[in-house]
Amino acid sequence: MNEDVSRLMDGELDDDAAVDRALAALRRDQGADAWACYHVIGDAMRGNAPMSPGFSRRLSAALAAEPTVLAPVRRVAHPATFAWAAAATVAAVAVVGWTAVSLTDAPDVAIAKAREANAVRAAEVRTPAIPPDYLLAHQEYSPATAIQGVRPYARAVSFGVPAER
């Protein structure tokens, strides 16, 4: 009996029959005394200070003297709450989907643009009639520059051949 109680305290009882025997032993006075004795031995081995005499009795009396606190009634969620949450989710998904679809070209439009670009011949493309000086002066605003953030701090320098006199 004492061996089963000791193994129960250590958490080493794996057999259901042994657990039943240990619990039956704890219901008798000898088993309860062994349980208390083994706890005192464990406390002494761990270096825990023993409880003062009558501690359990005083603790039981203090717990019995405390008022009973009733738990508040749990609120029941209304079905409308879930309906509104589902509607908001559907609306959010619809807005995101609509935005994503409106920002992308339809496949037919992309194919038409590709065919149109394929039909243009190099002879039909004209060079712009913008003077090179104008392009040089406004190059900092061009999105094609590789170092766009540095351009305002760099100075364009050109070298020209002086006109003959």
User: What's residue 58's pLDDT?
Assistant: 92
pLDDT tens, 67-109?
A: 888 877 777 777 788 889 999 999 999 999 988 887 776 666 6
pTM of the predicted model as reported, rounded to 2 decimal places? 0.31
32 domain residue, yes or no:
yes
Q: Is residue 51 part of a domain?
A: yes
Cα 25-28-34 angle, rounded to 5 deg: 65
**Domain containing residue 48:** 2-65
Instruction: Look at the chain and report how many structural domains it folds into.
Output: 1
CA dist 20 and 31 (Å) reads 13
Write down the residue that tokens 């002086």 correspond to. Answer: 162
Report yes or no on 13 lying in a domain. yes
Domain annotation covers residue 6: yes
